[in-house]
Structure 1
């Protein structure tokens, strides 16, 4: 949600898509989520920018290997740094800019569809469908501190409600 609040054009695109697909139905169903290509791209971009777990669960190498000239012996515990991979300039241009569009045509999860992401998409689609979100008093998204904490799980270092409040207006649907 903070990423969307910081990028009102992206939020408007997501809201327009969700509201167009859902129309006058009473609620959002699973088939609707499959049609929400921009919402899916935005979720992928959010996970790219802010992976919930910066280091994946440790893995054990099953054979000797070399990665970028570094030797990895058999049965060595390996940690995958998802945060660093998401910021690799070799993977994408302009990594510091939130651009959901790049996930409309490339950079897929390569077949990994996590069940939790389906739940997140459903909740997010409902929030986009039922409410209009803005920062109060003309606050601009770029003024929201996005510093992340360090630890096992990534989260914002400073709560969103610290010094600012979110204005939520029902859209009347």
Structure 2
């Protein structure tokens, strides 16, 4: 077995007069000169590849949106990024760790706008009991992280974009604090968990942003 790029494979099929679906699934019919056999081949891109890039892009877009709504936040975040990376030709993780203010921006963005409102469904492998509730075998569990990020029991003024809530807080989005789980928790959490926070600084370093008049 070897990894095959769905897009590249699709192009090769088209060049040979074969058809494929647009969802990454390919059904290949071998022609008569290939021993008259019919082979069904399903090609999918790795789930982590799509999840990582899409969640990262969503985080960047929402962070930009919220900061353009709050010009003072945008100016401060941009100043921090440009001062931190001033004179540096490359960006590494150690330097990114110095962006304390931008980290607050990312946390608050993910609280209000998690990449997915509902995490990927989970299914119970066996019947279990949690806090007096019986969970039958094969029960599908949906976690509403959008609602968790706006729960007034844990967050004040839930609809407001307030970075102050994270100034003296150790809460993060790495799956250890259940009030903020935009990427899930545990070994099956979203692989894009680190991508969003790493990529957000790039648009501020290179461009100036503002809403149209």
Specify if TM > 0.5: yes
* Bigger CA radius of gyration: 2
Structure 2 unaligned regions, length at least 5? 1-63, 178-184
TM-score calculated relative to the size of structure 2? 0.56
Which residue, out of 121, 130, 140, partners 1:65?
130
How many equivalent pairs are there? 134
Cα distance, 1:58–1:118 mapped onto 2, change above 3 Å: closer
Deviation at 1:33, TM superposition (A): 1.1
Structure 1 unaligned regions, length at least 5? 138-173
Which residue, out of 50, 55, 67, partners 1:4?
67
1:23 alignment partner in structure 2: 86
TM-score calculated relative to the size of structure 1? 0.68
Q: RCO greater where, 1 or 2, for CA within 8 Å and sep 6 or more?
A: 1
CA contact (8 A) 1:28 1:126 kept: no
CA contact (8 A) 1:21 1:36 kept: yes
CA RMSD of aligned residues (A): 2.3
The alignment status of 1:101 with 2:164, answered yes or no, reads yes
2:45 alignment partner in structure 1: none
Which residue, out of 188, 192, 203, partners 1:127?
203
Cα distance, 1:41–1:72 mapped onto 2, change above 3 Å: farther
Q: How does 1:20-59 map to 2 (within 5 A)?
A: 20-59=83-122
Q: Distance in 2 between matches of 1:79 and 1:115?
A: 19
CA contact (8 A) 1:51 1:83 kept: yes
